[in-house]
A and B are shown apart, each in its own frame.
Chain A
Amino acid sequence: MSTEIDCRGLACPAPVLKTKELIEQEKPEKLIVIVDNEAARQNVTRFMEYQGFDVSASEEGTDFHVTGHAGEGSESAAAPVKTVESEEVKQKIMVMVGTDRMGHGDDELGLKLMVSFLKTLKEMGGELWRLVFVNNGVKMTISDSEVLPVLEELEKSGVYILVCGTCLTHFNLLEKKMVGETTNMLDIVTAMQLADKVVNI
């Protein structure tokens, strides 16, 4: 299914909002957005890429045609991943990781245990719904973290990984975060309310 929308004459952020609405409502395989200014071209490109589309843009006279094809990770393609919840899944489990050490006592041991814990988490299967990193826990998501591949694997399998933005900023790690979405307290609280079970580490 291919859809086209005309966003000429609209100033930012209107073209992005129109694109967002269309993707959410129609989940198109192919999408062409026509814009007439450079900022809108770039912003619509960014938004489609953020949604997992493969994007290209062409100049047509004074207009730009931004074309997106639904890719692997797009909303439309991602839909089946989300429905995993409704299959065999009995409950939604949210795991809060507030430290980079598991348990108290020996730090070295604590780190080992935390690595092992995160590696084993996948055994929860589809019931693992959200994995949230706060405080020292955010250190598990940065470039030199031992468990980065594990977390990337979890994310690919459909687990939402949320990383506290305030914490990353506090530790000066915002740019080093390699996995998950930066989040805020409102998202975390909302997720807690929706989860069937919240596990605190």
Chain B
Amino acid sequence: MIVGLDRADDAGVYRVNDDLALIQTVDFFTPIVDDPYWFGQIAAANALSDVYAMGGVPKTAMNLVGFPLEQMDMSILREILQGGIDKMKEAGVVLVGGHSVEDPELKYGLSVTGFIHPKRILTQKNLKGGDRLILTKPLGTGIVNTAVKGGIASPEVVESVTHLMARLNQKPAEIMSRYEVHACTDITGFGLLGHLAEMVLDSGCGIRLQSDRIPIIPEAREYAQMGFIPAGAYRNREFRSGMMEFLPSVDRFLQDLLFDPQTSGGLLISVSEKDSADLLRALKTGGVHEAVIIGGVISTSEERIFVE
């Protein structure tokens, strides 16, 4: 066992021999979009993401389904599964089975197994002073989804956030493997600052973020001002606020966005300063257009996050 329960990491890793280790992860949730086919895609992209965040390649997967047979037509389930299968195909993953139960609340997700070289495992806990931090998807899906639930988001916004959540983290994962990357995680329920806090703890480093560079879904800020903020964002803030230092220019709506729980969020990559510009360029030319350097790692005894 190389990465296990003692570390709150994205997935578990088991070494098979000197050249091969298995990564295993599981994730499922209730629908976040109305369209069953897209829900299937998003749930699959989200489950696969943990493998990408550790630098691995997903190989096989099993479906996990909770379905309310009494209330819903089986065609809905078929569409969800089709969405999942199409996403797995895109990722080059083989579906090898699954399990479903009857459940009053619909749920779907995957258990995923991937391969990785035992010496090339990326975890959250390896920040190095001087590193640059790259984020590969804009923030705000939690807030936008709350606004969608509230019926105030335009169809245009619904579509763009759906596509964003369904996007695999495969490309950035492939590209980063060619550079000196020290640590990586994917941004999900804890929000950007929650996940950064996990990386900072016991690292002997601090983090400085340039908030004006952090990519954000354009409409999310106004929805935050209107109070369409998921309860999870407040919980994230309460849990980690002691580690944060915000400059006065970082207003509370922006802080909400930085704590906003993400569904199938982007990768957060800690890369050596010398490789950072090359990696960023490679990401952009490789189709990860929204990738941005959002800050850096500082060597300090204070394990805190400074948001400028």
Which A residues have a C-beta under 8 Å from some C-beta of B? 11-13, 16-17, 37-39, 42-47, 50, 165-166, 168-169, 172, 174-176, 181-182, 184-187
Contact = CB atoms under 8 A, between A and B. Distances in A.
A interface, over-half SS? helix
A16 to B, nearest CB: 5
A42 B222 contact: no
Nearest to A187: B154
A13 B147 contact: yes
Contact of B229 (A37, A39, A186): A39
6 contacts: A13-B146, A17-B151, A43-B229, A46-B227, A169-B216, A174-B218
Nearest to B228: A13
B226 A17 contact: no
B218 A182 contact: yes
A185 B219 CA distance: 11
Given A39-B234, A42-B234, A185-B156, A172 B227 contact: no
A150 B224 CA distance: 27
B231 interface: yes
B227 A16 contact: yes
B229 A181 contact: no
Given A13-B149, A182-B218, A186-B156, A172 B213 contact: yes
Nearest to A11: B231
A39 B230 contact: yes
Given A13-B150, A46-B225, A176-B212, A182 B219 contact: yes
B150 A182 contact: no
B221 interface: yes
Contact of A47 (B154, B218, B226, B231): B226
A175 B234 contact: no
Contacts of A186: 154-156
A38 B238 CA distance: 11
Contact of A175 (B151, B211, B224, B228): B211
A11 B146 CA distance: 11
A88 to B, nearest CB: 32
A45 B229 CA distance: 12
B94 interface: no
Contacts of B234: 38-39, 42
Nearest to A164: B218
A38 B155 CA distance: 30
Contacts of B147: 13
B68 interface: no
Contacts of A172: 212-213
Given A16-B150, A42-B234, A176-B212, A181 B222 contact: yes
A182 B229 CA distance: 18
Nearest to A190: B154
Nearest to B238: A38
- Between A37, A182, A187, the greatest number of chain B beta carbons within 10 A of the residue's beta carbon is seen for A182
Contacts of B204: none
- Between A12, A17, A44, A169, the greatest number of chain B beta carbons within 10 A of the residue's beta carbon is seen for A12
Nearest to A40: B231
Contact of B225 (A12, A17, A50): A50
B216 A174 contact: yes
B62 interface: no
Nearest to A182: B222
Nearest to B231: A39
B121 interface: no
Nearest to B156: A186
B254 interface: yes
Nearest to A46: B227
Nearest to B230: A12
